[in-house]
A and B are shown apart, each in its own frame.
Chain A
Amino acid sequence: MNIVASNRINKKVLMMGNEAIARGAIEAGVEVVTAYPGTPSSEIVETLAEISNNFDYYVEWSINEKVAFDVAAGASLIGVRSLVVMKNAGLNVAMDTFMTLPYTGIKGGMVIVVADDPGAHYSSNEQDTRFAALYAEIPCLEPANQQEAKEMTKEAFELSETLELPIFLRSVTRLSHASGDVILGEIKKPLKKIGFNKHWKIPFRWNVYGPSGAVSKHRWLHLQMEKAKEIIEKSKFNTFTLPANTNIGIIASGLGASYAAEAISELGLKEKLAFLKLGFANPLPEEKLRKILKGLKKLIVIEEGDSVIERQVRSFAQDTFTEIEIFGKERKQILNPYGELNVDCVAKGISKAIGLQVKENQERVNIKNEIQKKVSPRSSTLCAGCPHLGTYWAVKKALQSYKGVHIVNGDIGCYEQGGYGVFSHKINPTDDNSKTYSISSPYEILDTIYVMGNGIGMAMGQSQAGYKDGKVLAVAGDSTFFHATLPAVVNAVYTQADITYLVLDNSWTCMTGHQPSPTTGRGKTGEKVKVIDIPKITEAIGITCIKVVDPYNIEESIQAIQEALDFKGPSVVILQRECALQVQRREKHKNPQIFIDRDKCTGCKQCLSLGCPAITFDSENKIAGIDSLLCVDCGLCNQICSFGAITLKGK
């Protein structure tokens, strides 16, 4: 049984931050849960979906974050406790309702969990979504560890109902994807007090345009945030250590407080500095701020992400504490305003601020630098037998028949690795070079990558602006097709843009951990549901050139892509083949039948440029090989070998 569903109250267990948030929601009696998968947030709803049969809540994988947000908000308006979860970039998709909902407030407790990604481990950017909480003017919680993640989630529902506002809980990768000890609490049964009141406490409560209008509702929001300040002042999540004789203080929030606590103890400064640990990034507890700032000469602010706390503290200190030197990520910079924190950089930052000399072992540093030179890169690859390998090989071959500089616009999903490049490749960033730049592996095919659903729009822009130097393409996966490219496809038909859109349909939302998508034929707990047919949708929208092919068949895929490229106007190629990992998980892995005929192999390395990790190369004997542990017998490599050196056993 999943530990998150355990009834063993007061038991101490190891939990991932995301599991702890899921547990907190159950302990609060959550009734509706929605999300679109996004690393590092996915395990929250993955867990809640997995154990949903044991509890009385509704859970869904929504089609995108905007829909997820609206579903959760709608539920809250009729008095239901709802949770909506997304990654940092996901919030950008949900911004519209996110910014407006606080004007009317909510009824049933509504908690918005957003997992940021300092260090951009799994994300296109490092955006700090605490700013969004300030932007929308709602309270923002920031847990420092897994136990707090659970407690804060639970408390956020209470606070949400007290203030009648949605509450923002900001996690980060190193919390969501890290595990720590958590003590289980009691599980609350959902209240199920469902009802609708059009004029609940305020006339036309759920209608920002209804009398007395948006400005008056904005005023109401400000009054609620004043109440929030009073409550937050007393919160157990903001805690103090105030030693008697010090004029140096630290304010640290969220995970930053955990790094700070360790750095302080590393530097031997335990109990020697004033320390305010913040659990709220908005609003700040002003009484506590006043108390810590009084008598300080130096203040160090430590937070994961941008200078959200630092700016607020600076602005607060301006009233009465103008003499204090404030160190952080701006002005008196002791920490980088980019990348993620760790104990080492926090300890160095604190030392720098207070003028502590830390001796470095230069000899060891030199040895390390020498060794570093031997550590060769490990570029990211697609999996062995990944259907995208076939797609990208076909794209590469198809484009070779056309002269010019083609633009392949990428998107977000496993296939984005088609733009990661090979780390050890040397690139000279000049315009001339890029024109002669040949694609040597599938990891160099994508020319643009930004965010979900963006590629097809960009392709239209290039085509409509008059790009004539080559073909214009876009790629996106099946989950992305529904998430954000549908309006763009309509746009392409409406404006008759001359672009080719490749839908890489592998039946799952793979990169985030294989959540079901509308093409899977499975619902959130694996139950059978109807597949939503991408070819039929594109046809209904008005695309007239539609090709459906299997990317494991390279010849057919090349032909289909070329026919689409030759078509004037919007064309769509749907490359359908289930994710190889999912197939392997279902069907027991047999010994692969693909092998290299050593007599025929010339060592030309063409098979290596397929980019499949199961293909090996013996550089001593100049001969290719197949890694029998990885190979899944997809048959792509034997289609591309010009010498017939890769064959199937028994053939």
Chain B
Amino acid sequence: MFNMIIAGVGGQGSILASHIFADAALRASVTNGDNDIKVRLGETFGAAMRGGSVASHIKIGSDVYSPLVPEDKADVILGLEPLETLRIGVNYIAPGGMVIMNIRKYESVDVKTGQAEYPSISDIIDSFKKLNANVITLDATEIAIKAGTAKAMNVVMLGALAACPKNPVPRKILEEVIKDKVPSKTIEVNMRAFELGFSKVSEDLRE
């Protein structure tokens, strides 16, 4: 059984990223002939089109029925935004789990108007360490801009995930599904984004 939650802010492409990953997981199980494997993807997004908290729960396994990951049971939290990574991570990350976090902040209206405080990145990392989780950080937005567009940040994060040993889905299948799901004109930039995210985390893990 593998449980992951992708956390982010509406408009960051977390829904697309979760669909790519879940679809790839299903394709991988069909390719391997694992007929018992089930894939569930549950999404929570607020009423707004943009700017709200978004979390996608993904579960892969034979004993999977419901769409939501139980508390303390996420093997991986893929965080597209730091505050959202913490919001979801604190409840769901499993002891020994892996947090992959984009460090680019998307400040809330509460923070901007001075009514709430945004926790520091080091505070967030420390919090996860207290929960016995491992943390990988990267400026995925910056990497995406290097690849050609900030919009490909979600795919940078999928690349980062692919480099993580906990990831159960073969890189090749992930790449295949990305090519199927992103607009055809953006395949090249997305593949670049994937590769950059992958190599960034591969290097960090080697060190």
- Chain A neighbourhood of B95, CB < 8 A: 364
Flag whether A378 is at the interface (Cβ < 8 A): yes
Residue pair A180, B40 in contact (C-beta under 8 Å): yes
Residue pair B42, A378 in contact (C-beta under 8 Å): no
Flag whether A342 is at the interface (Cβ < 8 A): yes
Flag whether B165 is at the interface (Cβ < 8 A): no
Q: From B43, which residue of chain A is reached at the shortest CB distance?
A: A177
- Chain A neighbourhood of B117, CB < 8 A: 376
Flag whether A355 is at the interface (Cβ < 8 A): no
Contact status of A367 and B47, CB under 8 A, knowing A145-B65, A181-B39, A377-B108: no
Contact status of A608 and B113, CB under 8 A, knowing A343-B70, A380-B52, A629-B150: yes
Task: List A residues 402-461 near B (Cβ within 8 Å).
Answer: 414, 416-417, 422-425, 440-441, 443
Contact status of A376 and B48, CB under 8 A, knowing A12-B26, A343-B70: no
Task: List B residues 21-53 near A (Cβ within 8 Å).
Answer: 22-23, 26, 30, 38-53
- Chain A neighbourhood of B42, CB < 8 A: 174, 177-179
Q: Of A368, A414, A440, which is within 8 A of B49 by CB? A: A414
Q: Of B41, B71, B87, which is within 8 A of A180 by CB? A: B41
- Chain A neighbourhood of B80, CB < 8 A: none
Flag whether B112 is at the interface (Cβ < 8 A): yes
Residue pair B51, A605 in contact (C-beta under 8 Å): no
| A379, B19: Cα distance in complex, Å | 25
Flag whether A502 is at the interface (Cβ < 8 A): no
Flag whether A113 is at the interface (Cβ < 8 A): no
Residue pair A180, B44 in contact (C-beta under 8 Å): no
| Least Cβ–Cβ distance between B48 and chain A, in angstroms | 5
Contact status of A259 and B113, CB under 8 A, knowing A181-B39, A374-B119, A380-B47: no
| A416, B47: Cα distance in complex, Å | 10
Q: Of A14, A174, A377, A378, which is within 8 A of B67 by CB? A: A174
Contact status of A613 and B109, CB under 8 A, knowing A181-B38, A262-B66: yes
Flag whether A497 is at the interface (Cβ < 8 A): no
Residue pair B131, A180 in contact (C-beta under 8 Å): no
Q: Of A377, A414, A440, which is within 8 A of B48 by CB? A: A414
Flag whether A122 is at the interface (Cβ < 8 A): yes
Residue pair B22, A179 in contact (C-beta under 8 Å): yes
Contact status of A178 and B65, CB under 8 A, knowing A371-B127, A378-B110: no
Residue pair B40, A178 in contact (C-beta under 8 Å): yes
Flag whether B184 is at the interface (Cβ < 8 A): no
Q: Of B19, B115, B116, which is within 8 A of A179 by CB? A: B19
Q: From B84, which residue of chain A is reached at the shortest CB distance?
A: A378
- Chain B neighbourhood of A68, CB < 8 A: none
- Chain B neighbourhood of A367, CB < 8 A: 130-131
Flag whether A382 is at the interface (Cβ < 8 A): yes
Contact status of A613 and B110, CB under 8 A, knowing A261-B65, A378-B84: no
Residue pair B113, A376 in contact (C-beta under 8 Å): no
Residue pair B84, A179 in contact (C-beta under 8 Å): no
- Chain B neighbourhood of A611, CB < 8 A: 109
Flag whether A255 is at the interface (Cβ < 8 A): yes
| Least Cβ–Cβ distance between B66 and chain A, in angstroms | 4
- Chain B neighbourhood of A417, CB < 8 A: 47-48
Q: Of A181, A376, A416, which is within 8 A of B111 by CB? A: A376
Flag whether B136 is at the interface (Cβ < 8 A): no
Q: From A382, which residue of chain B is reached at the shortest CB distance?
A: B48
Residue pair B51, A375 in contact (C-beta under 8 Å): no
Residue pair B131, A364 in contact (C-beta under 8 Å): yes
Residue pair B66, A377 in contact (C-beta under 8 Å): no
Flag whether B103 is at the interface (Cβ < 8 A): no
Flag whether A474 is at the interface (Cβ < 8 A): no
| Least Cβ–Cβ distance between A91 and chain B, in angstroms | 19
| A374, B125: Cα distance in complex, Å | 12
Residue pair B65, A511 in contact (C-beta under 8 Å): no
Stretch from A72-80, A202-210, A215-223, A614-622 that touches the partner: A614-622
Residue pair A180, B116 in contact (C-beta under 8 Å): no
Q: Of B19, B47, B63, B70, which is within 8 A of A122 by CB? A: B47
| A144, B40: Cα distance in complex, Å | 12
Flag whether B161 is at the interface (Cβ < 8 A): no
Task: List A residues 257-286 near B (Cβ within 8 Å).
Answer: 257-259, 261-262, 265-266
Contact status of A180 and B111, CB under 8 A, knowing A367-B131, A374-B119, A380-B48: no
| Least Cβ–Cβ distance between B206 and chain A, in angstroms | 30
Flag whether A596 is at the interface (Cβ < 8 A): no
| Least Cβ–Cβ distance between A265 and chain B, in angstroms | 5
| A367, B128: Cα distance in complex, Å | 10
Residue pair A342, B68 in contact (C-beta under 8 Å): yes
Contact status of A381 and B26, CB under 8 A, knowing A174-B67, A344-B71: no
Flag whether B107 is at the interface (Cβ < 8 A): yes
- Chain B neighbourhood of A425, CB < 8 A: 115
Task: List A residues 240-258 near B (Cβ within 8 Å).
Answer: 255, 257-258
| Least Cβ–Cβ distance between B93 and chain A, in angstroms | 10
Contact status of A384 and B112, CB under 8 A, knowing A177-B43, A367-B131, A374-B123: no
Interface 0/1 of B6-32, CB less than 8 Å to A: 000101000000010011001000100
Residue pair A368, B131 in contact (C-beta under 8 Å): yes
Residue pair A422, B65 in contact (C-beta under 8 Å): no
| A177, B109: Cα distance in complex, Å | 27
- Chain A neighbourhood of B11, CB < 8 A: 383
| Least Cβ–Cβ distance between A637 and chain B, in angstroms | 13
Interface 0/1 of A592-620, CB less than 8 Å to B: 00000000000001001101010111010
Q: Of B23, B51, B66, B113, which is within 8 A of A258 by CB? A: B66
| A471, B118: Cα distance in complex, Å | 38
Interface 0/1 of A545-566, CB less than 8 Å to B: 0000000000000000000000
- Chain A neighbourhood of B118, CB < 8 A: 376
- Chain A neighbourhood of B91, CB < 8 A: 368
Flag whether A101 is at the interface (Cβ < 8 A): no
Contact status of A378 and B49, CB under 8 A, knowing A178-B40, A259-B65: no
Most buried by A among B38, B40, B86: B40
Most buried by B among A177, A378, A384: A378
| Least Cβ–Cβ distance between A279 and chain B, in angstroms | 14
Residue pair B22, A376 in contact (C-beta under 8 Å): no
Q: Of A12, A343, A619, which is within 8 A of B66 by CB? A: A343
Residue pair A372, B66 in contact (C-beta under 8 Å): no
Flag whether B90 is at the interface (Cβ < 8 A): yes
Flag whether A581 is at the interface (Cβ < 8 A): yes
Residue pair B115, A616 in contact (C-beta under 8 Å): no
- Chain A neighbourhood of B111, CB < 8 A: 376
| Least Cβ–Cβ distance between A612 and chain B, in angstroms | 9
30 contacts between A and B (CB under 8 A): A13-B26, A14-B19, A121-B44, A178-B42, A179-B22, A180-B38, A258-B66, A259-B66, A261-B66, A347-B70, A364-B72, A364-B95, A368-B90, A371-B86, A371-B131, A374-B119, A374-B127, A375-B119, A376-B108, A376-B110, A378-B53, A381-B51, A417-B48, A422-B110, A441-B109, A581-B50, A608-B112, A611-B109, A613-B50, A617-B114
The 3 residue pairs across chains A and B that have the minimum distance between CB atoms: A178-B67, A376-B116, A258-B65
Given A177-B43, A376-B110, A376-B111, 15 other A-B residues pairs in contact with their CB atoms under 8 A:
A14-B22, A174-B67, A179-B22, A180-B39, A364-B95, A371-B131, A374-B124, A376-B117, A377-B108, A378-B87, A380-B52, A381-B50, A416-B47, A417-B47, A441-B113
| Residues of B near any A CB (own CB < 8 A) | 9, 11, 19, 22-23, 26, 30, 38-53, 63-68, 70-72, 83-84, 86-87, 90-91, 95, 107-119, 123-124, 127, 130-131, 150
